[in-house]
Structure 1
Amino acid sequence: MYESNQSWAKGIALGLAAGTVQVPFPLLLHYRKLGLSDMEAMLLIQLLTFQQAEHNEFPSIEQLEYRMETGPGMIAPILRRLLKDGWLRIDENTDELTGIRSERYNLTGMYDQLGRFLAENSSSSGQRKVTEPVKDVGREEEQERNLFVIFEKEFARTLSPMEFETISGWVDQDRYPEELILLALKEAVFAGKVHFRYIDRILLEWSRNRVRTAEDAKAYTQRFRSNYR
């Protein structure tokens, strides 16, 4: 019994020595009502952990995948949704002396959303309004994950957060169909210029010339190549 108590006390001491992390209680209590999945809520908590306990404000995708024990390509679409929905953002900073650029995850959006939720759902009587149920995003998540995985296979490496944010911008802001994005990637591979700037230029050129479908892109590419033979 004494040895058991000693082991327990040693375990507690080691845990306390490892440090603590401040996690907003409303996030733990209401994340489902806020429309967050278990994975999304845990990812926010892990970002807090990296920042507070490990002083790492911009953990890599590989670090997050390792920490959460997920397969390749699963963390990127979750981050994309959190960025898109305003839970976090990526800040870029440049050191004035060295000119070195750095990035960090800014979690201000998370605190803003928690504050708005508490303000909108509280009253003098303590009653809370019923919020909409969490949407089923399984199919959308699968499609996004496939797109990121395809890019990572072609680049032969894990994408950076800024790169998957670029892909997200093509989908959400520019409204490029997924088939066009994949065709632009194939064109970049064909040209031996597998980088995001070149792919973005292809998509922009197609958009200017009213290329809307895969068939349009193939026809435009054939015309372009025949003109330069």
Structure 2
Amino acid sequence: MDGKEWNTWGEGVSFGLQNGMAVIPYALLKHYRKLNLTGSEAMLLIHLLSFRQVEGMEFPSLEELQTVTGRSIAAIAGELQKLMKEGFISIDEDIDELRDIHFERYNFSGLYGKLGAFLAGAAQEPATDSSKPAGSVPNQRAAAHHTGAPAPDGGHGRAFTAAAGKDAEENRSLFTIFEKEFGRPLSPMECETISGWVDQDNYPEELILLALKESVFAGKIHFRYIDRILLEWARNRVKNAQDVKAYTQKFRGGGR
């Protein structure tokens, strides 16, 4: 490398360093697969950490995450939902009282807790058999996961994985439908709200879509209105499309 090349290389390094550096837990880079994270999910966590440390952005939008990852908003929203559901991240809400501004930020205490628990558990495990090749699967259940063979519990592990995949696909379709009706990408907070309706409130997807339809007809397309509809239906034991029709007719005078 001649002097000119050294100068060019040095200028590039200098420019990169001036743009900031993010501190990423090495345990995340080394062990993310053992925490059942995919490469794209681990990279999403790294981007969230980098946005906070370098850009000072504690709650980047889905569009900003799409710019740095090059992935679809639906895919990013689905991964954020999984990370929140499994406790790697959460969303804190706060108020800047001086400026009277409401804001959200990602909380990474779950990620750090999981990494700490994993490292503590690994430190207590007996030394591995040196005769085993590096990267060998330590037990039958893990082997079943890697090869697709039935797990020792009679296949329940694979059934759970299939069910989780189905749930994720259903949630992605809900996100897509809501984005079409709202005419814009959903925020992470809105994605978490939809996930909460499905995972915590156990509302059927059909009922959520009917509530969305009601809000469109009423000209009140916002999440608080949809949530009020779902709560009202839950209190009146409205569980499906037929119940919604009967309930609507009753209160609009159509069933009298």
TM-score, structure 1 as length reference: 0.90
CA distance in 2, matches of 1:172, 1:183: 18
Where does structure 2 lack aligned partners over 5 or more consecutive residues? 130-137, 147-160
* Partner residue, 2:32: 31
> SS state of the match for residue 33, structure 1?
helix
Aligned twin of 1:209: 236
Corresponding residue of 2:157 = none
User: How many residue pairs get matched?
Assistant: 229
Among 174, 183, 189, which residue is 2:210 paired with?
183
Cα offset, 1:227, TM superposition: 4.9
Q: Which amino acid aligns with 2:31?
A: H
Larger radius of gyration: 2
Change (3 A) 1:124 1:74: closer
Residue 51 (structure 2) aligns with: 50
User: 1:156 is matched with which residue?
Assistant: 183
Distance in 1, matches of 2:14 and 2:83, equals: 35
Partner of 1:64: 65
Alpha-carbon separation, structure 2, partners of 1:140 and 1:212: 19
Take 2:209 and 2:31, find their aligned partners in 1: how far apart are those partners?
A: 38
Matches of 1:197 and 1:162, distance apart in 2: 12
Amino acid at match of 2:244: A
Structure 1 residue 226 displacement after superposition: 2.7
Given the alignment of the two structures, is residue 220 of structure 1 paired with residue 247 of structure 2, yes or no?
yes
Correspondence for 1:40 = 41
Alpha-carbon offset, residue 36 of structure 1:
0.8
Question: How far did residue 69 of structure 1 move?
Answer: 0.8
Task: Tell me the residue number matched to 1:6.
Answer: 7
Q: CA deviation at 1:56?
A: 0.9
Q: Partner amino acid for 1:33?
A: K
- Name 1:171's counterpart in structure 2: 198
Question: Residue 94 of structure 1 aligns to which amino acid in structure 2?
Answer: I
Cα deviation, residue 15, structure 1: 2.0
- CA distances 1:138-170 after superposition (whole Å, capped 9, x unpaired): 443322111111111111122222211111110
* Shift in Å, 1:37: 1.4
In the aligned structure 1, how far is the partner of 2:215 from the partner of 2:37? Answer: 36
Deviation, 1:63, is 0.5
The residue type paired with residue 107 of structure 2 is N
Look up the match of 1:83.
84
Residue 73 of structure 1 aligns to a residue whose secondary structure is helix
Deviations 1:161-213 (A, max 9, x none): 22111111100110001111001100111111111111111111111121222
Instruction: Indicate if the aligned counterparts of 1:188 and 1:199 stay in contact, CA closer than 8 A.
Output: yes
Partner of 2:119: 118
The answer as to 2:124 corresponding to 1:100 is: no
RMSD over aligned Cα atoms:
2.3
- Name the amino acid aligned to 2:108: L
Cα-to-partner distance string for 1:108-141 (whole Å, 9 max, x where unaligned): 1110010011112322644496585484654433
Moved more, 93-102 or 106-115: 93-102
Rounded to whole Å, the distance in 1 between the matches of 2:99 and 2:89 is 27
TM-score (norm 2): 0.81
**Contact 1:93–1:103 under 8 Å retained in 2:** yes
Q: Secondary structure at the match of 1:83?
A: helix
Distance in 2 between the 1:93 and 1:190 partners?
33
Unmatched segments (≥5 aa) in structure 1: none
Q: Return the structure number with greater relative CO, CA threshold 8 A, min gap 6.
A: 1
